[in-house]
Amino acid sequence: MANETNNGQALGKPPHAGVPGKPPHAGVPGKPPHAGNPHDDKPPVCFAAGSMIATPEGEVAVETLAIGDLVMTASGEQVAVKWVGHQTFRPVASSDENLQPVRISAGALETGKPNRDLVLTASHGVIIDGLVINAGALVNQGSIDFVAWNELPDTVTYYHIETENHEVILANGTEAETYIDYIERKAFDNYDEYVALYGTETRIVEMPHHRISARRLVPLALRQRLGIELNEAPMAKTA
């Protein structure tokens, strides 16, 4: 998502913990933000602005990262940022959970994880017990839940970090994946920047972790630990 910003302030809890003086990314000049229609655009798969990424110098907001900056992997290695894709869209009241961000409250996964509320898209993977689990599959309608539409600003910007390989980095102290090209880079507002830098797109080999994208596939022990129920589907929150 210290997460997605609302007039430069964070959507996490508390709601005004954003990066002081740092407005959300405005996107490509002259290019309007995505309208939030899942039929017109591929859903974003990214961190909300304000998500704090571990680097050798400490945590920094994802929107401040630049190509060549170093980030820390969960195993303690330093890897360079190859590209930071960003996508801005206008939220609309919709039942499409792919467009509505998920908030993982501080300590929801285990003590200190995340170390502050983490907001990211439903299809972004976090790593738990060696599994890559999409955030939407973790919704328990309590400590992990969709961010209500009325909490979102007029425009929302998501950021994705690409490294040379598919890596596990730390966002708000939680293991999360870097970019994997399940969503094409052209879905990002600054795709032209990537083409200018690297020419044709390169494929990224996914890390050797099993991916879970549905709640019913989350292991029973983990569902019980996180309070994830299967008796009713989670609903995108409107208020």
Q: Please, are residues 128 and 221 in contact by the beta-carbon 8 Å criterion?
A: no
- Domains of the chain in sequence order: 47-226 (2.170.16.10)
| Tokens read off for 208 | 């050797």
Q: Which residues contact 190 (CB under 8 A, 6 or more apart)?
A: 27, 28, 85, 86
What is the full per-residue pLDDT of the chain (239 aa) written as tens digits? Answer: 334 444 433 454 333 333 333 333 333 333 334 444 333 455 667 899 999 999 999 999 999 999 999 999 999 999 999 999 998 887 765 545 567 899 999 999 999 999 999 999 999 999 999 999 999 999 999 999 999 988 888 888 999 999 999 999 999 999 999 998 777 788 899 999 999 999 888 888 899 999 999 999 999 999 999 999 987 555 555 44
